[in-house]
Structure 1
Amino acid sequence: MKPLFVVVFLKELRETLRDRRALSLLLLFVLMYPVMVGGILSQQISRATATAKEGIELTVIGARQAPTLMAQLKQKNVNVTEAPPMPEERITALLRSQKTAAVLRLTDSYGGDYRAMRPARLELWYDSATDNGRKVRDIEEVLRAYGNTIAGARLLAHGVSPATLFPVQVQRYDTGTSASRSASVIGTMLGMFFIPAFFFALSPAVDSTAGERERRSMEVLLAQPARTIDLVAGKWFAASAVALAGLVLELCVAHGVLKWLPLEEIGMSWRLTWADLALICLVSVSLPLFAAGLEIALAINAKTFKEAQTTASFAIMIPIVPVIVVPMLDLTTQLWMYVVPLLSHQTLLRELAKGQAVGALPFLLTFGSSLLAALLCIAFTTWRMRSERYMMGV
């Protein structure tokens, strides 16, 4: 004979699988966050590679005064378009149209100042409100290199070594790997992969509690010769199973998307293996348990399905807050982060993506913190359901 909580679990799971709305929500969140993150990163990759493929569009006023500079710009994949003198209003309109990344204007006195070895003024016009910041920086780098070349040639002409201009030489060594850079950049997005666990469990958790109360079937269920813990456990495991299935599918889709993207184009990589992902999924089993337990504990106090859904939707924003706020503070990874549900899963995934050696304690804390919170929620729900006066009076 099957244990009673298994009978309740199978009954609730069958009803959930018959609910097309719940299954549609499951499919939506399985695909939504991985596709969203993939789209954002794909756009960054496109922007980074577009400059190298298409070149940088630069409009130059008075280009004939500096033929050497124009040649150097063209060597650096800058497409120079000569233009006649124009007022400031027209330059502003040209930049707003985004037909050119910047406008370089050589003053009328440029040639005379250059020959007299006085500072020859170049005006670089750009619109910081557009997404051409990277292109403008590349143009400025060419102009800076051009100025250094002229200064070095003039010093040599006077018998002075150009090294005099650089009394200190700084050599930079970046020890960060592409995996650590990608984990730092994508770190704020990793929490999105675990948030849907709460949405996966929402519909079955609310329907099996407030939904049954609204349909007047809760009284019949409570009248059965069954322990309260068996009834609660069956509903809890059913909602948790749906959330776990959705979370595992979503993590697999997200991992596949990040593996497929050419992150190397922007100096990043995704080195998480399928074995690491399986370990993450195993540790994340407690998160759907917590999500389902929290939503059942909240829904048991509502009279209608709509009221319970509204209450649970607002309440689940509480564990989401640390996932958003903590990465913005740019804190170093600390042990307490593995004690906060949802934040612990995000932190663990980020550290594994960096290629860091993670000991057993973070895994245990990540699993145990969510499990403890889930058990507290289920204990509260069981205590509430044992009171027939409360259940009938809500």
Structure 2
Amino acid sequence: MKPKFLIVFLKELREALRDKRTLGLLALFTVMYPVMIGYLLNQSINRATKPERDGVEIAVIGASQAPTLMSQLKQRNINVKNQAPLDEEGITKLLQARTYPVVLRVSDKFTENYAAMRPARIELWFDSSDESGKRRREVEDVLEAYSANVAGARLLAHGVSPATLAPIQVQRFDTGTNASRSAGLIGSLLGILFLPVFICGMSTAVDSTAGERERRSMEVLMAQPARAWELVVGKWLTAGCLAIAGITLELALAHAILSWLPLEEIGMSWSLNWGDLALLIVATIPLCLFASGMQVALAMNAKSFKEAQSVLSFVTLVPLIPGVVVSMMELKTATWMYMVPMLSNQTLLREMTKGDVGILPFVMTFSCSALVALLAVGFASWRMKSERYVLAV
């Protein structure tokens, strides 16, 4: 004979699967976030690699005054477009049209001052509100290199070594890896992927508690030879299974998209494999059960179906607060973070993108949510025994 909680679970799951509209919305919600993250990262990759593919195109006023500089710009894949003389208003309009990221205006006296070894002025015009900082820096690098070459040649002409201008030589060594650089960004992006844990099973949790009580089917169910905890566990497992299915689909889709994207083009990487993903999903199962247990317990405490929906819609945002606070305060990973539901999963994912995290973070992440889930189910079982709950008084 089947356990009674399993009979209740199968009954609730069958009813949940009959609601095609709700399942369709949940599937859309589950797929939406990975696709959105993949699209945003793909757009970032395209913006970052476009200058390398197409080159940087700038407008130069008075290009004939500095032919050597123009040659150096072209050598760095910076296309120079000769522009007729413009005043400040005309240059501003040209930049606001987003036609060029940078406008260079060479002084009319550039050649004269250059020949006389006086500072020759070049004006660099740009719009700081435009997302073209990388292309502007490429132009600035060429201008600085050109200025240094001219200064060095002049010093040599006077018998002075150019090394005199650089008494200190700074060498920079970056020990950061693509994984460590991308862990923070990817961790913050994917942290929101755990949100469906609190959404996929919410509709079922509310309908099987507050909904059944309003329809007066709860009284019929409680008249059956089953104890309160068996009824609660069956409803709890139904909502938990939907949450597990949603998060599994979402993480698998996100993994497939991130593995396909050329993140190396923007100095990032996605180092997880399918085995790591399976471990992450296993560690997330208690979070799904915690979410469904909390929703069942809170829905039982609500006086109506509408009130239960309103309360759970607000409570769903509460588990996101620790992750947001940690991100805003830029706190380093600490052991206590693995003891906070939701935050522990976000921290675990972020650390897994950096490399091996060991077994302890998995155990702590699994245990903290599992313990709270059991407490929530225990409270819901106690609430189910109350006549005030059944009679909605």
- TM norm structure 1: 0.97
Moved more, 83-92 or 248-257: 83-92
Q: Which residue of 2 aligns with 1:157?
A: 157
Q: Percent identity?
A: 60
Following superposition, the deviation at residue 325 of structure 1 comes to 2.6
Contact 1:60 1:80 in 2 (8 A): yes
Q: Which residue of 2 aligns with 1:19?
A: 19
Following superposition, the deviation at residue 29 of structure 1 comes to 2.3
Following superposition, the deviation at residue 69 of structure 1 comes to 0.4
Secondary structure class of the residue paired with 2:85:
coil
- Kindly provide the CA deviation profile for residues 213-266 of structure 1, in whole angstroms up to 9, marking residues without a partner as x: 121111222222321100100000010011101111111110000000011111
Letter in 1 for 2:370: L
Secondary structure class of the residue paired with 1:117:
coil
Contact 2:210 2:299 in 1 (8 A): yes
Secondary structure class of the residue paired with 1:318:
coil
Contact 1:25 1:200 in 2 (8 A): no
Q: Which residue of 2 aligns with 1:389?
A: 388
Structure 2 spans left out of the alignment, 5+ residues = none
Q: Which residue of 1 aligns with 2:95?
A: 95
Task: Note closer, same or farther for the CA distance 1:44–1:101 as it changes in structure 2 (3 Å cut).
Answer: same
Q: Which residue of 2 aligns with 1:54?
A: 54
Moved more, 97-106 or 294-303: 294-303
Q: Which residue of 2 aligns with 1:319?
A: 319
Following superposition, the deviation at residue 329 of structure 1 comes to 2.1
Q: Does 1:276 align with 2:276?
A: yes
Q: Which residue of 2 aligns with 1:65?
A: 65
Q: Which residue of 1 aligns with 2:353?
A: 353
Contact 2:197 2:247 in 1 (8 A): yes
Measure the CA separation in 2 of the matches of 1:112 and 1:187: 56
Contact 1:214 1:303 in 2 (8 A): no
Following superposition, the deviation at residue 54 of structure 1 comes to 1.1
Moved more, 4-13 or 111-120: 111-120
Q: Which residue of 2 aligns with 1:113?
A: 113
- Kindly provide the CA deviation profile for residues 97-137 of structure 1, in whole angstroms up to 9, marking residues without a partner as x: 10111111112222222112122121111111111111111
Contact 2:244 2:288 in 1 (8 A): yes
Letter in 2 for 1:107: S
Contact 1:179 1:269 in 2 (8 A): yes
Letter in 2 for 1:387: S
Q: Which residue of 1 aligns with 2:143?
A: 143
Query: Residues 1-394 of structure 1 correspond to what in structure 2 (within 5 A)?
Result: 1-355=1-355, 357-394=356-393
Q: How many residues align?
A: 393
Letter in 2 for 1:384: R
Secondary structure class of the residue paired with 2:301:
coil
- TM norm structure 2: 0.97
Measure the CA separation in 2 of the matches of 1:287 and 1:322: 15
- Kindly provide the CA deviation profile for residues 135-182 of structure 1, in whole angstroms up to 9, marking residues without a partner as x: 111111111111111111111111111111111111111111111112
Secondary structure class of the residue paired with 2:277:
helix
Following superposition, the deviation at residue 22 of structure 1 comes to 2.5
Measure the CA separation in 2 of the matches of 1:320 and 1:303: 26
Contact 2:301 2:389 in 1 (8 A): no
Contact 1:384 1:391 in 2 (8 A): no
Measure the CA separation in 2 of the matches of 1:208 and 1:143: 69
Following superposition, the deviation at residue 306 of structure 1 comes to 2.6
Contact 2:59 2:104 in 1 (8 A): yes
Measure the CA separation in 2 of the matches of 1:391 and 1:92: 71
Secondary structure class of the residue paired with 2:99:
coil
Measure the CA separation in 1 of the matches of 2:78 and 2:4: 74
Contact 2:205 2:299 in 1 (8 A): yes
Contact 2:206 2:309 in 1 (8 A): yes
Task: Report runs of 4+ in structure 1 exceeding 3 Å deviation.
Answer: none
What is the RMSD computed on CA atoms of the aligned residues?
A: 1.2
Secondary structure class of the residue paired with 2:216:
coil
Following superposition, the deviation at residue 323 of structure 1 comes to 2.1
Measure the CA separation in 2 of the matches of 1:39 and 1:206: 33
Contact 2:283 2:366 in 1 (8 A): yes
Contact 1:9 1:237 in 2 (8 A): yes
Contact 2:303 2:392 in 1 (8 A): no
Secondary structure class of the residue paired with 1:284:
helix
Contact 1:198 1:292 in 2 (8 A): yes
Measure the CA separation in 1 of the matches of 2:264 and 2:316: 36
